[in-house]
């Protein structure tokens, strides 16, 4: 009987699924840092250094908003988003006014979200990496 109980316990714990990234991303996130890498040279800034407070809110219906507060000024925009797999990478697609940008999700857990996007502009490779914590 003890063996059957142990086998049942093992079966239950081994069947636990990893959290679905599309569900895990839902919530309010505060930007903790943004880094730009241009041709291999990285510059990282925190919103506090710049006097900015920035948040992203991802809703379960695939919509969201970002708010940026600079002193007395408050700016923001709404967007739609999707989380999907491309090859072995998790991708966060954000669409604003019909234009979509795809970001690779580098970290996504209960407390941390990090996403990055690389582009080539005017012959320079630019990588933007945004780090957030759950609010």
Tens-place pLDDT, residues 37-64: 999 999 999 988 888 999 999 999 999 9
Residue 125 included in any domain: yes
Q: Whole domain around residue 106: which residue ranges? A: 19-134
Into how many domains does the chain fold?
Answer: 1
- Which structure tokens are listed for 46? 């925190």
CATH code at 35?
A: 2.40.128.280
Average pLDDT, the chain: 89
Q: Is residue 109 part of a domain?
A: yes
User: Which residue, chain included where needed, has tokens 């006097």?
Assistant: 51
**What are 91's two structure tokens?**
């991708």
* β-bridge partners, 70: 52, 73
Residue 122 covered by a domain: yes
What's this model's pTM, rounded to 2 decimal places?
A: 0.83
In a domain? residue 102: yes
Closest CA to 91 of 126, 121, 118: 118
pLDDT digit string (tens) for 86-107?
Answer: 999 999 999 999 999 999 999 9
């Amino acid at each position: 009987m003890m063996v059957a109980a142990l086998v049942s316990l093992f079966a239950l714990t081994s069947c636990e699924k990893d959290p679905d990234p599309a569900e895990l991303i839902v919530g309010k996130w505060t930007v903790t840092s943004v880094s730009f890498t241009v041709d291999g040279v990285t510059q990282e800034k925190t919103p506090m250094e710049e006097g900015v407070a920035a948040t992203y809110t991802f809703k379960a219906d695939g919509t969201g908003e970002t708010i940026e507060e600079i002193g007395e000024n408050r700016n923001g925009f709404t967007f739609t988003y999707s989380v999907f797999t491309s090859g072995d990478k998790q991708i966060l697609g954000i669409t604003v006014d019909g234009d979509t940008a795809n970001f690779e999700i580098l970290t996504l857990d209960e407390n941390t979200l990090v996403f990055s996007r690389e582009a080539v502009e005017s012959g320079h490779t630019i990588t933007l990496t945004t780090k957030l914590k759950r609010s």
